[in-house]
Amino acid sequence: MSYGTSYGGGNRYGGGSFGPKPVETGKEYDVQITETSRQGDGIAKVQGFVIFVKNAKVGQSVKIKITNVGARFATAEVAAPQEAQPEAQPEAPQ
């Protein structure tokens, strides 16, 4: 008899595969910070994939650089705040 049958592809400590990730280490993405983590970092999502963004606050639109990609989430740092909306910028004189 086998009592160790695994349903779902791996053990409970991350042995399973979660498929391809929508982000890659070193790449930059434009995101909206929607939540705050328990540690105080901002949380963004790219195609539903969670990204913890160091020193980001809820409501910010920022360009982030991915520093690490794990099985269930990624970590990133702010590369640059995004520019103001185009309609908010003054027109150049002609």
- Split at pLDDT 50, 70, 90, the class of 6 is very low
Predicted confidence at residue 4, as pLDDT, reads 52
Torsion sign across C-alpha atoms 10, 13, 15, 16: positive
Range 20-36 average pLDDT: 96
* Statement: residue 72 has pLDDT above 80: yes
Structurally, the chain folds into a number of domains equal to 1
Q: Is residue 64 part of a domain?
A: yes
Pairing of strands 28-32, 42-46: unpaired
Partnered with residue 69 across adjacent β-strands are 74
Instruction: Output the domain CATH number for residue 36.
Output: 2.40.50.140
Q: Which domain holds residue 58?
A: 28-81
Q: Is residue 44 part of a domain?
A: yes
